[in-house]
Structure 1
Amino acid sequence: MSTPRRVIGYIRVSTNKQDIGPEVQVRDLTQEAEARGWELELRREDAASAKSLKGRPVLAQALADLKAGRADVLAVSKLDRLSRSVADFARILDDAERQRWDVVCLDLGVDTTTLTGRAMAQVTATFAEMERRRIGERTRAAMAQLPPEVRDRMRRGGRPVAVSPDAVSRARELRASGLTLWAVCEQLTAEGIPTATGGKWWPATVSKMLDRAEREAAKAVTV
């Protein structure tokens, strides 16, 4: 006779009155366990958000136990008890495959202990990947609408523009000689003078830098 699967039945209770109650979750998981001969351990997380997997110690411990081999299956009655992010769910499926434990999500028909359930898991992961790509495309489209110097700064963590005094002094000299802003940028680049972020010099960046230097010089005179 085979050993019963050790199953962690995860129950999440939130403050949203429209969410599925704990009694229903317990009933669904218990009925499934009885039908399949599971060794079921129910674990309840109270007043937890489903927006992400963070801030849920009960779930974190369950995942740790599964990884350590102290349980074989993570089961939930509905996907939104685990997460409302399909991408997060897909990451759990990836962890389960790598760490050799299974996932059962009753409402989706995801059950990686069976061939059909594994197929459903693959479909879920595929849709998660599609959503990640859509988000990436929307982000790239939004970035393309920004000025080049803003894009350059955002890619490096959005750090504020702060250049060395030597760079400011040299830019002022070049501008005073009659060069255009583009020509100043090209010359600063040719001389190897770094920007604040280590990226490319842009006319708008140089213009703001010179304006700031002039304001600071005027303020110093009036003090």
Structure 2
Amino acid sequence: GKSGVSLLDERPGLMEAVEWIAEGKANGILAPNLDRLARELTVQEAVLSYVWALGGRVFTADHGEHLEDDASDPMRTAMRQMRGVFHQLDRGLIVKRLTEGRTAKGARGGYAYGAPRFGQRSEDGELTPDEQENATAEQMEQWKAEGMSLRAICARANAEGLPSKRGGKWHPTTVARLLSPEAREKARQQSAAARAARKEQQRRERAARLLSQH
């Protein structure tokens, strides 16, 4: 079976099935349940509406056929949407538990998720000190104490072959994040804001594409 979708163009299998319906090669879609068709109620309803608009039918193994909305039977729509709400709630609770578990593990000093910060590495799911990286950080701290600029520290680290976290060359911004807690926090906030902005933009673009297809 196909996994859930965010929108049609994000799941090639679902998009192909819808195209088959539009071309008359298929009469409908069969999925294990609506939860596998869409992760969110709004997407579920959009996908159903689109398939119905093409003259297609939607079936799930746990329910049978999902009939088109009918003004004379509002309970049909309400029950389907209620199932979608609880599917979405269940997924949200799972994500919440996973997030809380990672946060708690990180607070205990364990490796929760993401790339370990400079000076640490992951071993068997736990964070441990990285002696080489810590030695590099101490050397840079010493150069900073001697009055060297970030650009000078960067140039010297590259000249002496001190490895960065990913093995590439050092850059002034990378050195700044390493030596300044404020710079690290600012970079973290900027990264989080950028991810949120990208996610919102993707949502808007997906919604616009779907609406343009009706």
Same fold (TM over 0.5): no
| Largest Rg, 1 or 2 | 1
Please state which structure has a larger fraction of its residues in helix.
2
Q: Which has the higher contact order (CA 8 A, sep 6+)?
A: 1
Structure 2 length-normalised TM: 0.37
